[in-house]
Amino acid sequence: MSAERYVTASGRAVLLEQFVLERFALGVLEGRPDIIRARQLEELPERMRRRFPGRAGQLILAPPPAIESRYPAWILAAALHSFQAVGDDGHCSGLVVVWFASEVPTDLPAVLRDVLGHVRWEEHAVDGWY
């Protein structure tokens, strides 16, 4: 596969359309780590919908456990497209996968292969039409 195409756990070939890397506490100046973590995780689904408007499913992978009330340093999100629908009446399907990291990845294609290797596309993607 090329650098922009990946295979999910269910064997579906998908195309990377967009990638975002954000600080977990983006926009937060100060505060207790446990409160920052809780609030950012609560607001994350809507934050990602604003970041990736359109018709696509959303899968937010579990954040690492809170150790000493800390939160992850980074949010990583990939908007993915499949030229095959999940259902019978669609033309294609889309999914935004969100996960967390303690540092900026140096080999993004390898990280994407690893993350997407655990994603069951058909359980989370939403059909689209051309």
**Containing structural domain, residue 107:** 5-128
Beta bridge partners of 50: none
Distance CA 23, CA 111 (A): 17
Global pTM?
0.90
Query: The tokens 């809780």 sit on which residue?
Result: 38
Q: How many domains are contained in the chain?
A: 1
Neighbour tally for 68: CB within 10 Å? 6
Q: Under 8 Å CB-to-CB from 3, ≥6 apart: which residues?
A: 109
Average pLDDT over residues 7-21: 95
Query: Do the beta carbons of residue 48 and residue 58 sit within 8 Å?
Result: yes
Residues 38-81: pLDDT tens digits?
A: 999 999 999 999 999 988 999 999 988 877 668 899 999 999 99
